[in-house]
Structure 1
Amino acid sequence: MNDSLFFDFTVDKAAKTVYITREFDADLDLVWDAFTKAELLDQWTAPAPMVAKTKYQQFEVGGKRFWAMIGPDGTERWGLQRYTSITPKSNFKLFNTFADADETPEPAGSDWDYTFSAEGDVTKVHIVIYNESFERMERILEGFKLGFTASLGNLEQLLASLKQ
């Protein structure tokens, strides 16, 4: 990791919100693609030793991404994301929830708001995650912070390889 790049992970329990800001040494187009194209998302979103696999994705307002994190023993943890707003190369929002393999969503989920900005060849991604319930946030928070931080490290490596 380039130590001069900014990274912050802040939890506001009272607001049931997580704030993540991360800079990447890559141009905006490449970072945007890494967050919005299934073939790239599958290469970085699961922390090792798990892998990500997208069953389908329609990156459009009202579209969905149905995907799984698959453990080394074959255990699948499915997720369903519904895109609610897209401003190309600037911002997108989605509703995220866990689901079963038949796409039946869990009742509680979280709203994710991604904002992208660039300064030269450095792209900043700011993510705001609002959880519907404090209990859900508490249940996933510890593992989420470790896993998501590891996934962002995967993304940094992927971006470096794609720039070559």
Structure 2
Amino acid sequence: MPVIDVQTDTAALTLTITAEFAAPVERVWDVYANPRQLEKVWGPPEYPATFVDHDFTPGGRATYYMTSPEGEKFGGWWQFETIDPTSSFTFTDGFADADLLPAEDMPVSRNRYEFTATATGTRAVYAAIFADAESLQKVLDMGVIEGSTAAINQIDALLAA
């Protein structure tokens, strides 16, 4: 499984997931740059994602929804801040309503995804910072660790295809 470490730091308001992939950095980067590939791995397997928008540029925005096994849709959005091709990108991540507009009553996090070449492939570090302890705890209670781990662990199959 790609996920090798998960750390939460309630004092620093962070959640950090580290994964390793047996593929070059450029190939792992492509998963995030291409919305059709990202759809195959964003969210747990039983909640497939559909990206409606994916403007992977500084200042660009992505909107998506995940569909539950019962057909219920859960929206989300990203606002990209920086893009350093094949090495990192930063973005704000939040929940969205049925119209894919930010859900004001839900947590928002600032994220940095970093990709580094290793002797056997790529190390990815997914770091999220929350505004307050309540927001971090809310996503933890919602199962973000389990859901994110399941999602990231799907990437190997996509990379091998």
Query: Which category of TM-score, normalised to the shorter sequence, fits these structures?
Result: over 0.9
Counterpart position of 2:157: 157
8 Å CA contact 2:64–2:100 kept in 1: the answer is no
8 Å CA contact 2:50–2:66 kept in 1: the answer is yes
> C-alpha distance in 2, partners of 1:52/1:21?
22
Counterpart position of 1:115: 114
TM-score normalised by the chain length of structure 2: 0.92
The one of 59, 63, 69 aligned to 2:60: 63
Compared CA separation, residues 68 and 125, structure 1 to 2 (3 A) = same
Q: Which amino acid aligns with 1:28?
A: V
Counterpart position of 1:15: 12
Q: Which amino acid aligns with 2:23?
A: A
Query: How far has the Cα of 1:6 moved from its partner?
Result: 6.6
1:44-55 equivalence runs, <5 A: 44-55=41-52
Query: How far has the Cα of 1:121 moved from its partner?
Result: 4.2
Q: Deviations over 1:69-123 (max 9, x none)?
A: 1011110110000000111111100000001122321234000101111024410
Q: Deviations over 1:6-64 (max 9, x none)?
A: 71110001111011111101111110011221011100112121111001110000101
> C-alpha distance in 1, partners of 2:54/2:3?
30
Q: How many residues align?
A: 158
1:68-107 equivalence runs, <5 A: 68-107=65-104
Q: Which amino acid aligns with 2:52?
A: K
Q: Which amino acid aligns with 1:36?
A: A
Q: Which amino acid aligns with 1:150?
A: A
TM-score normalised by the chain length of structure 1: 0.91
Secondary structure, counterpart of 1:44 in structure 2: coil
Q: Which amino acid aligns with 2:152?
A: L
8 Å CA contact 1:27–1:120 kept in 2: the answer is no
Query: Structure 1: where are the runs of 5+ without partners?
Result: none
Query: Structure 2: where are the runs of 5+ without partners?
Result: none
Name the structure where helix makes up a greater proportion of residues: 1
25-34 or 136-145: bigger deviation: 136-145
> C-alpha distance in 1, partners of 2:31/2:42?
10
Runs (4+) of structure 1 exceeding 6 A deviation are none
